[in-house]
Amino acid sequence: MRKITPIILAFLFCAFLVPQGAKSQVNFEVDNFNQLDSVSVFSSAFGFARIGGENYAGVRLNPELRLGKVGVGFDIPIYFNLDDGKMHTDEFKGGTGLLRMISYLSYGRKKKDPVYIKAGQLRGEHVGYGSLVNNYSNSMSFEKRKTGVSYDICIKKMFGVEGMYSDFNTGSFNLFAIRPYVRPFGASKIPVIKTLDMGFTYVKDKDKTKRYDESNDINHFLEDGMSAWSLDMGITLINSSVFNLNTYAHYSTLRKVKSDSLKTYFAASEPPVRYGNGTGTGIGLNANMKVIGNLFKLNARIERLWYSDNYMPQFFDAMYELNKDAKIARLGTAEKQEGIYASLNASILDKIIVGGNLLLPDDISETSPAFMQFHLRTKDLFDKILIEASYSKGNLTKLNDAFDFDENSLALVRFAYKVSPILYTGIDYRWTWIEKDNGKYKIDNSVMPYVALKFNF
What would the pLDDT profile of 297-322 be if each residue is shown by its tens digit?
A: 998 999 999 999 999 999 998 888 87
180 or 449: which leads in pLDDT: 180
Confidence band for 76, pLDDT divided at 50, 70 and 90:
confident
Q: What is the mean pLDDT of residues 268-273?
A: 77
Task: Please provide the average confidence, as pLDDT, over all residues in the chain.
Answer: 81
Is residue 342 predicted with pLDDT exceeding 60? Answer: yes
* pLDDT at position 202: 97
- Asked if pLDDT for residue 216 goes beyond 50, the answer is no
DSSP, collapsed to helix, strand or coil, labels residue 28 as coil
Give percent of the chain with pLDDT exceeding 70.
Answer: 82
- What pLDDT does residue 220 have? 74
pLDDT of residue 169 exceeding 70, the answer is: yes
pLDDT tens, 226-262?
999 999 999 999 988 888 999 999 999 999 998 888 8
pLDDT score of 428: 85
Which pairs from 312-315 meet CB under 8 Å and 24+ separation? 312/254, 312/278, 313/131, 313/252, 313/280, 313/282, 313/339, 313/341, 313/359, 314/130, 314/131, 314/132, 314/133, 314/134, 314/135, 314/341, 314/359, 314/371, 315/132, 315/228, 315/254
How confident is the model at residue 434, as a pLDDT? 60
d(CA 229, CA 178): 10
User: In the predicted model, is pLDDT for residue 88 greater than 60?
Assistant: yes
Instruction: Please give the average per-residue pLDDT across 261-273, as a whole number.
Output: 80
pLDDT confidence of residue 15: 36
Nearest to 286 by CA among 304, 265, 263, 306: 304
Residue 26: which pLDDT band, with cuts at 50, 70 and 90? Answer: very low
For the entire predicted model, the pTM comes to: 0.80
Which phi and psi angles does 119 have, rounded to 5°? -120, 140
Residue 175 has pLDDT above 90, yes or no: yes
pLDDT at 271: 76
- Strands 173-182 and 197-206: what pairing? antiparallel
Give mean pLDDT, residues 352-358.
Answer: 91
pLDDT surpasses 80 at 54: no
* Residue 440's pLDDT band (cuts 50, 70, 90): low
**pLDDT over 80 at 457, yes or no:** no
Whole-number pLDDT of residue 350: 81
> Would you state the pLDDT for residue 360?
92
- Mean pLDDT to the nearest integer, 55-67: 83
pLDDT tens for each residue of 370-399: 989 999 998 777 778 889 998 888 888 888
33-53 pLDDT per residue, tens: 444 455 677 777 777 777 667
pLDDT (0 to 100) of residue 443:
67
Per-residue pLDDT band at 132 (split at 50, 70, 90): very high
The pLDDT tens digits of the residues spanning 391-423 come to: 888 888 888 888 888 778 888 888 988 888 888
Predicted pLDDT at 286: 93
- Pick the more confident residue, 306 or 104: 306
Q: Report, as an integer, the average pLDDT of 267-296.
A: 86
Mind giving me the DSSP string for 306-354?
EE-TT--TT-BSTTTTT-HHHHHHHHTT---EEEEEEEEEEEETTTEEE
C-alpha 174/C-alpha 166 separation (Å) is 6
Per-residue pLDDT, 100: 67
Q: Find the farthest-apart pair of alpha carbons in the chain and give their distance in angstroms, rounded.
A: 69
Summarize the confidence of residues 136-158 as an average pLDDT.
83
